[in-house]
């Protein structure tokens, strides 16, 4: 609304660069908010870089708008604007693929960073040990429908308490913790069950789709499941050929 109001009050030649300058300010403001998340800011290193790039792109378009009447020309401005907008959409799409849990991760970080602790009367060390047992021994992460509420009920905590416990004791959000254990399970199964298909391993580990399995595995291990299996079996002198 502020951008529209300004657009009606200033000449067109200055309205466009001014609107982009306001967009730059908004991107920088988001970056400041992320930095203010204190201990959780390390979750958002990639997102901070993308926000900074958005701010630079907005500045570039604003500068092109200023230069358009004097030399760049409106055709040059249009090409600059269209190119950077396309790049922006591409960056957003890539970010959503690279960080599939971006929205819940952000919600958890904000809730924990700005809320009072809910664990004042909880033995954090003992509860963290119990949480590890639930994942490592009970293998709850292998259930595709696992949720924050389900695990919190197993531990006798509220969902918000469990979220804070995971954030403070494990340094990550609940969705990332679940993916961490699912990937670890998949790593073991890929080696221990060489004749099982990669997709069946992902499903048995708790992932609900091949794409989510591949993205999480590549993010944590550094390579896709099939390549990881081949490398590990070759190192052990074992063939994954059914024959």
How is residue 208 annotated by DSSP? S
Domain limits, CATH 1.10.10.60, in the chain: 118-236
Tokens for 24, please give them: 């730059």
CA angle 85, 78, 22 (to 5 degrees): 55
Cβ-based neighbour number of residue 68 at 10 Å? 20
Task: Give yes or no for a contact between 201 and 142, defined as CB atoms under 8 angstroms apart.
Answer: no
What span, in angstroms and rounded, lies between the C-alpha atoms of 53 and 125? 40
The CA dihedral of 101, 104, 105, 109, to the nearest 10 degrees, is 180
Would the CA dihedral through 105, 106, 109, 111 be positive or negative? negative
Rounded CA-CA distance 175/147 in Å is 9
C-beta separation of 59 from 20 below 8 A: yes
Nearest to 128 by CA among 139, 39, 136, 43: 136
pLDDT digits (tens, 9 = 90+) for 171-230: 888 999 999 999 999 999 999 999 999 999 999 999 999 999 999 999 999 999 999 999
Segments of the chain assigned E as strands: none
Q: What band does 97 get if pLDDT is binned at 50, 70 and 90? A: confident
pLDDT tens for 221-236 read 999 999 999 999 988 7
Terminal Cα-to-Cα distance of the chain (whole angstroms): 66
> Is the domain covering 118-236 a CATH 3.40.50.720 domain?
no
Higher pLDDT, 71 or 79: 79
Considering only CA atoms, which of 183, 163, 192 is closest in space to residue 223?
183
Model confidence band, residue 242 (pLDDT cutoffs 50, 70, 90): very low
* Contact in structure between 229 and 240 (CB atoms under 8 Å): yes
Which pLDDT tens digit goes with each residue over 45-75? 767 777 777 777 877 877 777 777 777 777 7
pLDDT at 51: 75
Categorize the per-residue pLDDT at 243 as very low, low, confident or very high, splitting at 50, 70 and 90: very low
Ramachandran assignment for 139, one of left (phi > 0), alpha (psi -120 to 50 degrees), beta (any other): left
């Amino acid at each position: 609304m502020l951008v529209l109001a300004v657009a009606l009050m200033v000449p067109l030649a200055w309205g466009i660069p001014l609107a982009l300058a306001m967009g730059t300010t908004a991107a920088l403001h988001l970056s400041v908010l992320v930095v203010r998340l204190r201990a959780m800011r390390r979750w958002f290193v990639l997102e901070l870089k993308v926000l900074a790039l958005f701010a630079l792109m907005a500045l570039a378009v604003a500068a092109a708008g200023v230069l358009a009447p004097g030399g760049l020309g409106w055709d040059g401005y249009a090409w600059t604007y269209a190119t950077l907008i396309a790049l922006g959409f591409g960056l957003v799409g890539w970010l959503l693929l690279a960080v599939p849990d971006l929205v819940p991760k952000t919600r958890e970080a904000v809730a924990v960073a700005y809320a009072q602790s809910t664990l004042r009367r909880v033995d954090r060390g003992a509860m963290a040990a119990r949480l590890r047992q639930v994942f490592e021994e009970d293998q709850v992460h292998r259930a595709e429908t696992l949720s924050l509420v389900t695990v919190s009920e197993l531990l006798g905590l509220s969902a918000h308490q469990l979220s804070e416990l995971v954030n403070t004791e494990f340094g990550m959000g609940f969705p990332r913790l679940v993916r961490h254990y699912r990937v670890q399970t998949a790593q073991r199964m890929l080696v221990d069950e060489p004749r099982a298909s990669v997709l069946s391993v992902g499903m048995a580990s708790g992932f609900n789709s091949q794409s989510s399995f591949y993205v999480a595995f590549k993010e944590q291990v550094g390579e896709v499941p099939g390549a990881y299996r081949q490398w590990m079996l070759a190192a052990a002198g074992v063939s994954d050929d059914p024959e």
